[in-house]
Chain A
Amino acid sequence: MLELFAATLITLGTVFFIAGTVGLLRFPDIYCRLHALTKADGLGLALVALGVALLAATPGAALRIALIWFFIAVSSATCGHLIARHARLAEGGRHD
């Protein structure tokens, strides 16, 4: 039962990753692509991490997965911001 639930979560997470990838390939400009990528990957990763944490043998392993999720989420959000910021500055646009 738990395994089934975890598998469902991981599958749902994968769907978000695929949606993010399709968005990255299909959207017209860098900001739309970033939007697709960061949103979809954020949720996708959270679902996959939750699914894997349910299958983790020990609470320590689950805690490590939670930490990994937290730091990947923070760094991917920062990366998204940096790329968007760089693109805007390169366009010679307004400085925020």
Chain B
Amino acid sequence: MTDPLVIFDLLLALAIVALAVAALSVRDLYAMIVVFVIFGLLSALAWVRLSAPDVALAEAAIGTGVTGALLLKTLHHLRFASGQRSVSMTPTIPVPTGVMLANAAFCGLITLGLAVAFLGAPSAGPGFDTLVAESMPASGVDHPVTGVLLNFRAYDTLMEVVVLLAAVVAVWQIERGLSDAPAPEMGEVWQGFARLALPAIVVVGTYLLWVGAEAPGGAFQGGAVLAAVGLLLLLTRAYVPQPHHRGIARGAFVLGTGVFALVALLVAGGGRVAFEYPLDHAKTLILLIEGMVTISIAVTLAALFHGREPVALRMEDRHDT
């Protein structure tokens, strides 16, 4: 007997592929972003169907929410820079053929690597489920995904946090000062919504972080939700980044990576392997790392949305204050 949900799954898979094709083929950048966001939401649904709610949460919060906001912000900037309402896919300055070929080669290599990994993986094997389940008592947490991410494979997670740090460092190197594009005027209803939503988002983000020890959730999902607080504050202009806040921001950027690496080094210093947390303190250490990483992720994503280092400009250079 066929599971009726198979039909739903097939439709979902078809819709995801169709949306991916549409996102690549549509010529208007705004339409492209909208299609991309819908693509992300359906991907999150697909992860739910694959019984991976952790990945679904991350996809919905980071892959769709924050990335969509970043893309829309970029489009706002492009529209202002080009002076046109609809920005076309075709770049005004032609891309050098060498760059295009290099990009094509890298994309091809990634696809090839994925294909090799997929074909090389043992099909229908037991996977690591039993191994993880057996080791769970040693991890200090009750949720297998958190156990794997923060304990068994903590090194990979540390590298992911470093990638975010590298991204914000690069953005601050490239873009400084104040945005030329005027902030969109959103009206009073939106301000009221922000006042209502802000405290709720703080609670939801913290809840996602806390619940990560025993249920789907964790630092990346909680951090992305908390980053939404930063986005709301920046959009309502309740918070305007000031040059003298850079020290605090830099501290928040490196906090997660720093605490993560420090814990690993201290554990390693006690005659253990790095990330081999002592069992009595495993949960405390994991929560400490996750808490600090959440702060870093939230501040970093909000800073990426702001998209520039706030530096003091000479008064006559100021476009908007």
Given the complex, which residues of A lie within 8 Å of B193, measured CB to CB?
74-75, 78
Are B186's CB and A82's CB within 8 A? yes
**Would you call the interface of chain A mostly helix, strand, loop, or mixed?**
helix
Q: Mark A56-96, 1 if CB is under 8 A from B, else 0.
A: 00000000000000010011001001100100010000000
**Per-residue interface assignment for chain B, residues 169 to 195, with 1 indicating a CB less than 8 Å from any chain A CB and 0 otherwise:** 000000000000000011101100100
**Does B187 contact A85, Cβ atoms closer than 8 Å?**
yes
Taken together as a complex, chains A and B put the C-alpha atoms of A89 and B184 apart, in Å, by 12
Give the size category of A's interface with B: under 10
CB of B197 within 8 A of CB of A71, answer: yes
Q: Are B189 and A78 in contact (CB under 8 A)?
A: yes
Q: How many interface residues does chain B have, given as a range?
A: under 10
Residues facing B in A37-63 (CB within 8 A) are none
The answer to whether A74 and B197 have CB atoms under 8 Å apart is yes
Give bound CA distance, A12 to B197, whole Å: 29
Distance from B194 Cβ to chain A, minimum over Cβ atoms (Å): 9
A residues less than 8 Å from B186 (CB atoms): 82
Provide the residues of chain B in CB contact with A75, threshold 8 Å. 193, 197
**When chains A and B are docked, how far (Å) is the Cα of A81 from the Cα of B192?**
12
Instruction: A78 to B197: give the CA distance in the assembly, Å.
Output: 11
Q: How far is the CB of A24 from chain B (nearest CB, A)?
A: 13
Q: Are the CB atoms of B189 and A81 closer together than 8 Å?
A: yes
Let me know if A71 and B190 touch, CB within 8 A.
no
CA distance A71 to B199 in the complex (A): 12
Q: Within the assembled complex, what's the spacing in Å between the Cα atoms of A68 and B148?
A: 29
Whether A82 pairs with B197 at a CB distance below 8 angstroms is no
Interchain CB contact under 8 A, A74 and B196: yes
B200 at interface by CB-CB < 8 Å: yes
Q: Are A82 and B196 in contact (CB under 8 A)?
A: no
How far is it, in angstroms, between the C-alpha of A82 and the C-alpha of B194 when the chains are bound? Answer: 13
What is the CB-to-nearest-CB distance from B73 to chain A, in angstroms, rounded to a whole number?
16
